[in-house]
Structure 1
Amino acid sequence: MKLNTRIQLSVMMFLEFFVWGAWFVTLGTFLAKNLNATGLETASVFSTQSYGAIIAPFIVGLIADKYFNAERILGVLHLLGAFLMYQMYNAESVSVFYPYVFGYMVGYMPTLALVNSVSFRQMNNPEKEFSSIRVWGTIGWIVAGLTISYVFKWDSEANIGAGMLKNTFAMAGIASLLLGLFSFTLPKTPPVKDKNQKDSIGSILGLEAISLLKSKNFLIFFISSILICIPLAFYYQNAHPFLEQTGLENPTGKMTIGQISEAAFILLLPVFFSKFGFKKTIMVGMLAWAVRYTLFAYGNADTLSFMLLLGIALHGICYDFFFVSGQIYTDAQAGEKYKSAAQGLVTLATYGVGMLIGFWVAGFISDYYKANPVENIWRMIWLIPAGIAVVVWLLFMALFRDSKKEAAPGSIKHAA
């Protein structure tokens, strides 16, 4: 790959995830403090990510793969996103905010696939080249969080009270505008879809891989993936408000520890696959969710602040050891014919259905304890998803059986 192309793709990835990290991490706190949102209203806003994940395959499968260059669609979607971010910045109520964030997520979620498409098409050896490009996305997310906490300090108690947190949407909008314009300078990535191949809703959503569910092991994994997304949603929806209300200084910046951890632990996956196999590796990921939420439940921003920081740092194990391992397992089980369809099916189930359920459960639990106060509301809010994670862990341990067809360590290349 030419150096100029490598730089272009790295900048693209940096901005792609800078945009997301610039507003999504602090969204829960913004909704509660700036827009006085209830738990279910907050769940409704966060659920737009799931709706976007469900709708995204149609945009990528029916438009990007067939009619227009990927980099051009990427540019248009981010320019539209910049406008919607400006509208979110100006919104003064949840009812006004919601349609703009819904439109934004429907436009943003497809870009996650588009940046990968643009990248892969420029590579001769994606297995070796992609990780060094994708890591700039993680760096972009980290820089966004550090900028909020340590440069502008928008997440300090005083600035949140002054309504400064809405500036995150302005920052994200500016970055989206830059990426939108920059996208038109990216290497041309025209569609390569076979004109004789007919599109169907089933193929676009990955439903062609539904036959994989005939395997008991894959069915157990599939159901577990949906269920584990319920506690995952609690983290996205409640972690920042919890850390801010607990009194942890610079919560947005400290939450970037999770992304640093994610980048580090993915390097350990081949070791775990080689030594322990798929089942034990994925069980570690499941159990880590329970441990993380228990640490949140009993930690504080004073003498036990290390428990909060350790809970944040567990993000790498929580995400990589379950979701990335799951992607590898799915790839190995699907076979050549259904590889893409299987990944689409699992993504639809997790980020679509699973997290949609999770956001609403988290919102209901938050509202319930606000209406029925207990001595430590946050402790109860965190112990519930911890319990769910333990139940999923026990079910998976009891029902999933090791198989000779499990992903081999070499399959780690597909995690990118």
Structure 2
Amino acid sequence: MTATIRFKLSLMMFLEFFIWGAWFVTLGTYLLRNLHTSGVQVGVAFLTQSIGAIVAPFVIGLIADRFFSAQKILGVLHLAGAVLLWQAAGAADFGAFYPYILIYMILYMPTLALVNSISFRQMQNPQQEFANIRVLGTVGWIVAGLTIAQFGWEASGTLGLTLKMAAGASALLGAFSFLLPATPPIKKEGPTTVGDLLGLDAIRLLKNRSYLVFFLASVAICVPLSFYYGFTNPFLNEVGMKSAAGVQSLGQVSEVLFMLLIPVFFARLGVKKMLAIGMAAWVVRYIFFAYGNVDSTYWMLIAGIVLHGICYDFFFVTGQIYTDNLAGEQSKSAAQGFITLATYGVGMLIGSLLSGQIVDANQLTASLHDWRTVWLIPAAIAAGVLVVFLLLFKDRNAPVTAEVISYAEANARLEV
């Protein structure tokens, strides 16, 4: 990979996750304070990412893997997204806000798979190279959180500005995408089937029993994940943490560290142990949130936030690499969209519906919740998923090799 291509991919990742972090972290607080919504409505708002993630594999399978260059699709989606975010910032109530954010997330979620696909197509050894590129996305998320803290938008009640900041970054990435390395669709021999058009090639990965267990675990672990995305910022603000969005960026700082170490951990631990450690970290994090406060156990809140590096990298980044290794050359984009469907789609959809109801059920006053009960519920769910995963997932206790391999070869290398 040349230095120019590395720079372009790194900037792409930076902007991709700066956009998301710029408004998504504080969305729950914005809705509760500025638009005066209920916990259920917050859950419904976060559910839009699940709807987008469910649509993503079909968008990618229909367009990126078959007809148009991935970088051009990325540009169009982000330019349209910039307009929608700007309009959402001006919405006066939840009824006006929701349609804009729903359409936006349907456009944004496919871009998560697109940036991965564009990156992987430029790499000879994704296991060694991907983390160094993807880490810039985490840096972008950190910069977004620190910007919010620097301007004091949480304390001043002006979180609507986060949406406008994200809109500007989305417009920039939309324009820049047309300068990214060409990532044309790979021509497929033989006739195109309906399954090809819908991006269903990736479903064949489920014939691998180990991958099926991973897929189901990805769905299940994202149920407790939705609690974190939807309610960590409101929780931290409610218990009195100052500049909560800025403090939350410590999670991305740890993510940078662990992402850079992924090649080392891959070589030493293998897929199963890395995925299991990631899930175990979710259990510990929620227990820390349940028993932490801003006085005597403030360290628990900080530790729970810092654990994000292990939570995210060991499960999600490892899962993306694992998926890329198993996917065939002609369906890599569809495979990335497929795992996005499992995680941010089905799992987060269930979690978003559940988390809002649980938060409302544990509301003590208009501005006070029983957060200990709220956080112990996702801790229990994550622990259950971890136990089932450890019992059912099998590999050879060695990392999957990083070269591009066929599905048949991947099946031969894994215990199924």
> Does the alignment reach a TM-score above 0.5?
yes
Residue 228 of structure 1 is aligned with which of 188, 200, 221?
A: 221
Once the 2 structures are TM-superposed, how far is the Cα of residue 208 of structure 1 from its aligned partner? Answer: 2.5
Letter in 2 for 1:154: W
Distance 1:327 1:297 in 2: 30
Residue 178 of structure 1 is aligned with which of 167, 172, 177?
A: 172
Kindly indicate whether residue 203 of structure 2 is the aligned counterpart of residue 207 of structure 1: yes
Query: Aligned residue for 1:400?
Result: 392
After superposition, the C-alpha distances for 1:44-90 in whole angstroms (9 at most, x for unaligned) are 11011111111112222212333333232222211111110111101
Q: Aligned residues, how many?
A: 403
Query: Aligned residue for 1:252?
Result: 245
Distance 2:78 2:335 in 1: 28
Distance 1:10 1:338 in 2: 23
Distance 2:334 2:12 in 1: 26
294-303 vs 323-332, which deviates more? 323-332
After superposition, the C-alpha distances for 1:67-117 in whole angstroms (9 at most, x for unaligned) are 333232222211111110111101111111111111101111122222334
Once the 2 structures are TM-superposed, how far is the Cα of residue 228 of structure 1 from its aligned partner? Answer: 1.3
After superposition, the C-alpha distances for 1:192-231 in whole angstroms (9 at most, x for unaligned) are 333745143476142223322xx3x554443332221111
Kindly indicate whether residue 288 of structure 2 is the aligned counterpart of residue 295 of structure 1: yes
Letter in 1 for 2:164: A
Distance 2:133 2:280 in 1: 30
- Provide TM-score, normalisation by structure 2: 0.86
Distance 1:270 1:356 in 2: 31
Where 2:23 maps in the other structure, the secondary structure is coil
Identity of aligned residues (%): 53
Letter in 2 for 1:208: R
Distance 1:220 1:177 in 2: 39
Q: Where do 5+ consecutive residues of structure 2 fail to align? A: 406-416
Where 1:249 maps in the other structure, the secondary structure is coil
Where 2:154 maps in the other structure, the secondary structure is coil
Distance 1:328 1:122 in 2: 14
Once the 2 structures are TM-superposed, how far is the Cα of residue 347 of structure 1 from its aligned partner? Answer: 3.2
Letter in 2 for 1:155: E
Query: Aligned residue for 2:154?
Result: 155
Kept after mapping to 2: 8 A contact 1:20/1:141? yes
Distance 1:375 1:88 in 2: 28
Kept after mapping to 2: 8 A contact 1:328/1:412? no
Q: Where do 5+ consecutive residues of structure 1 fail to align? A: none
Question: Following superposition of structure 1 onto structure 2, how do residues 244-283 of structure 1 map, counting pairs within 5 Å?
Answer: 244-272=237-265, 275-283=268-276
81-90 vs 322-331, which deviates more? 322-331
**CA pair 280-17 structure 1, distance change in 2 beyond 3 A:** closer
Once the 2 structures are TM-superposed, how far is the Cα of residue 401 of structure 1 from its aligned partner? Answer: 5.9
Letter in 2 for 1:400: L
Cα RMSD over matched residues? 3.0
Query: Aligned residue for 1:169?
Result: 163
Kept after mapping to 2: 8 A contact 1:231/1:385? yes
**CA pair 412-389 structure 1, distance change in 2 beyond 3 A:** farther
326-335 vs 311-320, which deviates more? 326-335
**CA pair 321-128 structure 1, distance change in 2 beyond 3 A:** closer
Residue 341 of structure 2 is aligned with which of 339, 348, 366?
A: 348
**CA pair 46-199 structure 1, distance change in 2 beyond 3 A:** farther
123-132 vs 15-24, which deviates more? 123-132
Kindly indicate whether residue 307 of structure 2 is the aligned counterpart of residue 314 of structure 1: yes
Where 1:184 maps in the other structure, the secondary structure is helix
After superposition, the C-alpha distances for 1:145-196 in whole angstroms (9 at most, x for unaligned) are 111102x11122xx02xxx111000111111112222223334443333374
Distance 2:280 2:81 in 1: 37
Letter in 1 for 2:384: V
Residue 285 of structure 1 is aligned with which of 278, 287, 292?
A: 278
